[in-house]
Amino acid sequence: MITRTALRHLDRTFVMGILNATPDSFSDGGQWMDLNSAIARGYRLVDQGADIIDVGGESTRPGAQALSSGEEWDRIGAVVKALAQAGIAVSVDTYHAATARLAVEAGAVIINDVTGGAGDPSMFSTVAGLGCMYVLQHTRGTPETMNSLASYESVPGEVAAELEESVRRAVGSGIDRSNIIVDPGFGFAKNADHNWDLAAHFGAVEALGQPVLIGVSRKRFLEEVAPDSVPSSRDNATATLTGYFASRGVWGVRVHEVAASKAAILTAERLRESGAFTGQGAFRGRATPGNREDGGDREASGGSEGSDA
């Protein structure tokens, strides 16, 4: 099992397997609501190569029903405890500070906040007190309003700037910068063109100097290259992007189907050992948290699609 110390290493790309204990997530809602099936799913993801299991109790797709922290914890609490007690590195996907506290007390090592601290004014101070690792994601608005806010002059530049401001506020609230992982929020307040633009011109996010988590798994913008309407049909496209981002040296990828993405990461790492990717992305010298590199591509795109997160 992977340790918390190992999760701070910046010389590999981790796989975060998605475990949705929800009835309404866009891809697998309702499949893992039962405690035993959820725990079994977590074990299976680890067997397939997941380093971390990201447990979520509330869907963040557009129009999803918001939950109270109590309702959320009722869905995921026993799952988090069981997986953590088994020695599995557990992340909890929540924007509720109360859930974050309970999760860490139950053994979770990462809080994955899709709102970047905007969903609960107590989140930053809570995470600071807990001292856990914290995924700070880019988004705008709420699941109900994010589509209307998908307007940019420069997608990569604005996403990076807004992430940088969120990191500044988090650090100002007492969160150790070395605990912060940034997520550019593919699909959140971004249409299909925005997502492709952000992926293609990723230097602005890399230049922040923070570890980066990527969440593109089964997102709707992948329909362009995987036109079947079933979300699981996008797993091959997801794994292709995993290989691309692994070649750039991202900290982690968050995926539904682990095996193909794990293989893509191992392939990218083996190519790196053989001399590929020299001078590319984070492999230029693998930025450590708090040490920002200069540079980054900033291109423009327009329109509106929304998120299937």
| 30-114-47-72 Cα dihedral, nearest 10 degrees | -40
Other residues' Cβ atoms within 10 Å of the Cβ of residue 115: 23
Cα–Cα distance between 184 and 192 in angstroms, integer? 14
Which helix (DSSP H) or strand (DSSP E) does residue 115 occupy? Answer: none
Cα–Cα distance between 28 and 2 in angstroms, integer? 26
| Closest residue by Cα to residue 207 from 303, 294, 130, 113 | 294
Q: Give Rg (Cα) of the chain.
A: 18
CA distances from residue 137 to 36, 214, 236, 299 in whole angstroms, order as listed:
30, 10, 24, 20
Three-class SS of 59-83: CCCCCCCCCCHHHHHHHHHHHHHHH
Three-class SS of 251-297: CEEEECCHHHHHHHHHHHHHHHHCCCCCCCHHHHCCCCCCCCCCCCC
Structure token pair of residue 169: 């506020």
CA angle 51, 76, 107 (to 5 degrees): 55
Residues 6+ apart with CB under 8 A from 73: 57, 98, 99, 102
Q: Which residue has the tokens 């963040």?
A: 60
The answer to whether residue 219 is catalytic is yes
Pick the catalytic residue from 41, 101, 219, 262.
Answer: 219
The answer to whether residue 44 is catalytic is no
Q: Are 42 and 19 in contact (CB under 8 A)?
A: yes
Annotated catalytic residues are 219, 254
